[in-house]
Amino acid sequence: MPNNIDNNLTENDIFIVGYGGWVKVDRYKQGKHYENFQHDSETQIKKLAERGTILQVTGADVSRQTNLPTVTSYYLPYHEDKETNRQHVRSPMLLGKGTYTFSGNISFELTYGALEQFINDAFFKRDTIFTLSFFDGQNTCIVANCVWSNFQIQCSPNNLVTASITYQSNNGYVDDLQIFRNDADTEVMYDEEDLLVPYWTCGHEGFQEFTISFERPVTPVFLNGDLHVASYLRPGLISVSLSATTIEYRFEEWEKELDICLGTRPQRHGIKLLKSLLQSCQYSMSSMTDIGAKTYAWNSISEESHEHIFEIY
């Protein structure tokens, strides 16, 4: 066991995008190897911030959590032995430096560029990773080898279509967040041709508003060796759910395959639930001036393990 433990392990390192900030995401080709920052120079790591699609971000963060290995003494006497003056157990014991896990969340307004990045088959594969670059107005933070655990799209009247991603990372096999002073050559400009996806081009016929969510467990795997971060991230099976509000009562008309459109042609994308099962339906009227709203919730679950529960187009 080490005699002295460097770094303050009791606090988290947090990076939050603030005023004037931006976020870029670079989705790697399926099956590409993880980035390794252990042998890369600062210049090589900074170059990652030049790649990817810039998002219309409304909020973003990444944090480092320290997992401390501890053990508690086996013998915990109930009474103190004043005669022998034996030192009594008062605390668990620290066994080592511990391990680090990196996680975060980004929320953004959905544009056609974001649709290309996220609404495609490759993004939902288990062996697809991506890199995020954050700029908070002063410094740039680069988070490599990210795997999403939750992806959600929300659409409602009088609001922009938004999306959010919760992710985990192994931070390129290094312990500290890679934060650099922003250089002039890493300045970026928003793409004026990357237009927002209009609300009225999204959803299913009859939907007033909807939320579609994809979720999967992601387990960081720590192997024997010198690393204090995960050797790799292991994603699990994806579950998908959909909730929607309508004005007309259309319970009898819903099909087993629900097609959720996103955008217009030629950049139109969509998500089709292939095995949708209605989980709940609700009718409500909050006041006499309101039109009664009908709320439905679906899950897509297959009867066979090899069958697809959703389709991306």
Go through 112-132 and write b for each residue having 16 or more CB atoms within 10 A of its CB, e for each that does not.
Answer: bbbbebbbeeebbeeebbbbb
Closest to 294 (Cα-Cα) out of 259, 243, 257, 256: 243
Place of tokens 């391990």: 99
Distance of CA 62 to the CA centre of its chain: 10
User: Tell me, what's the pLDDT at 121?
Assistant: 93
Cα(265)–Cα(195) distance, integer angstroms: 13
In terms of Cβ atoms closer than 10 Å to its own Cβ (0-12, 13-18, 19+), residue 181 is exposed
Residues comprising the chain, all counted: 313
Residue 36 CB neighbours (<10 A) = 13
Low-confidence ranges of the chain (pLDDT < 70): 1-19, 80-87, 183-188, 251-253, 287-290
The helix (run of H) or strand (run of E) holding residue 44 is: helix 42-46
User: Tell me, what's the pLDDT at 170?
Assistant: 95
CA distances from 192 to 25, 56, 195, 202 (A): 17, 11, 7, 22
62 by DSSP, 3-state: which? strand
Could you report how far apart the first and last alpha carbons of the chain are, in Å?
54
Find the Cα–Cα–Cα–Cα dihedral 23, 27, 33, 36, rounded to 10°.
Answer: -10
Could you tell me the pTM of the whole model?
0.86
pLDDT digits 0-9 by tens, 136-180: 888 899 999 999 999 999 999 999 999 999 999 999 999 999 998
- CA angle, 30 then 34 then 37, to 5°: 150
DSSP 195: P
